[in-house]
Chains A and B, each alone.
Chain A
Amino acid sequence: MADLHFLANPARFRRFSQRVLPGLGFATVLMLCACLYMAFFVAPADYQQGQTVRIMFLHVPSAWLSMMGYALLAGLGASLLVWRHPLAALMARAAAPVGASFAAVCLLTGSLWGRPMWGTYWVWDARLTSMLLLFFLYLGHIALSRAYDEPERGDRAAAILALIGVINLPIIKFSVDWWNTLHQPASVTRLDAPAIHNSILVPLLWMAVSLLFLFVFLVLLRTETEIDRRRLENAAAQEEGAPA
């Protein structure tokens, strides 16, 4: 039964991803081009920050996506540990570098935004520190999943790390409310109306959707690769005559 599962699900996933990927990639490129145009030529400058507000169009969506990506890793970790879902481990391997990249973009753009606006590239306040921790959690996940000779053990260890690290997500989100920070409180995700004028909010949300497309594209593509890679490894093991 478990064996059937293992064969059926990745194959179905693979068929699905092959059908979806070309269109998704094309749509992502188109939307990102449109968003770049909006970010630079349609969106107005901010009343206080001037042109540097354009950095927000990268910074904020990558922060969202890196947090969403970690929640995804945690969900995949749970489904691996509890239900032993065969695809979960492969997808977690595929998704971790994607999330790490978005976290890196968030940190770098934030730093380049902080210098002209706050007067510093970096401070150790609760928001910035917890975001840096998220980046390191991703790196830990990547390292741990590749640390063992048997990939299954690495998958298991990385899944446990993902579940422990998920506690960092609410800390990142609420750090600006719980503690005094240099970073300002949330502008978009608050209970009342967003504190961003529509002319800036709309490009921001479009950029978020486009980068989400890129995120999904990358995760699907890399999961497909992981499925093929696992098959390749199994074939190699069988050729050596090892009882797989």
Chain B
Amino acid sequence: MSNHAAFILASYLAAFVILGGLVIASLSARNRVRRELDQRGLAPRGSAPRGVDRKR
């Protein structure tokens, strides 16, 4: 890499942090909501019937 490697790597790092952070936040939000639905004994709408294919 030439002399501007710092700028190039910084921009890829910034994108990785922002988009990767959003992916992680989205996945953990989904898992949290699903867990709460589970605790209330509610199957998420549109999911398979209880017991089948619930948790992978």
Q: Name the distance in Å between A113's Cβ and chain B's nearest Cβ.
A: 7
Chain A min CB distance to B29 (Å): 5
Whether the Cβ atoms of B2 and A50 lie closer than 8 Å is: yes
Collect the chain B residues with CB atoms within 8 Å of residue A98's CB: 22
Q: Which residues of A pack against B, CB within 8 Å?
A: 7, 10-15, 18, 36, 45, 50-52, 54-55, 58-59, 62, 97-98, 101-102, 104-105, 108-109, 112-113, 115-116, 214, 218, 221-222, 224-225, 227-229, 231-232, 235
Chain B 3-47 interface residues, beta-carbon cutoff 8 Å to A: 4-5, 7-8, 10-12, 14-15, 18-19, 22-23, 26-27, 29-30, 33-34, 36-37, 40, 42, 44-47
Instruction: Give chain A nearest CB distance to B47 CB in angstroms.
Output: 7
- Cβ contacts under 8 Å, A51 to chain B: 1-2, 4-5, 8
CA distance A54 to B22 in the complex (A): 23
* Further pairs besides A18-B47, A227-B45, A231-B42: 14, Cβ < 8 Å: A14-B47, A51-B8, A52-B4, A54-B8, A55-B8, A58-B11, A58-B12, A112-B11, A113-B11, A115-B7, A221-B26, A221-B27, A228-B33, A232-B37
Measured CA separation A224–B27 after assembly (Å): 11
14 pairs of residues in contact across A and B, judged by CB atoms under 8 Å: A15-B47, A51-B4, A58-B11, A62-B15, A97-B22, A98-B22, A108-B14, A109-B14, A112-B7, A112-B11, A115-B7, A222-B26, A225-B30, A231-B37
Q: Given the complex of chains A and B, what is the CA–CA distance between A192 and B38 in angstroms?
A: 56
- What is the CB-to-nearest-CB distance from B27 to chain A, in angstroms, rounded to a whole number? 7
Minimal beta-carbon separation of A108 from chain B (angstroms): 5
Q: Is the CB of B30 within 8 A of A55?
A: no
A interface: dominant SS = helix
The closest CB in chain A to the CB of B10 belongs to A112
Q: How far is the CA of A13 from the CA of B44 in the complex (A)?
A: 12
- The docked-state distance in angstroms from the alpha carbon of A7 to that of B40 is 19
Q: How far does the Cβ of A33 sit from chain B's closest Cβ, in whole Å?
A: 12
| Least distance between B43 CB and chain A CB atoms (Å) | 10
**Which residues of chain B have C-beta atoms less than 8 A from A228's C-beta?**
30, 33-34, 37, 44-45
CA distance A54 to B27 in the complex (A): 29
- CB–CB A109/B11 < 8 A: yes
CB neighbours (8 Å) of A229 from chain B are 33
Q: List 4 tightest A-B contacts by C-beta distance, closest first.
A: A14-B46, A11-B46, A109-B11, A112-B11
Q: Are A112 and B26 in contact (CB under 8 A)?
A: no
- B18 touching A101, Cβ below 8 Å: yes
| Cβ contacts under 8 Å, A225 to chain B | 26, 29-30, 33
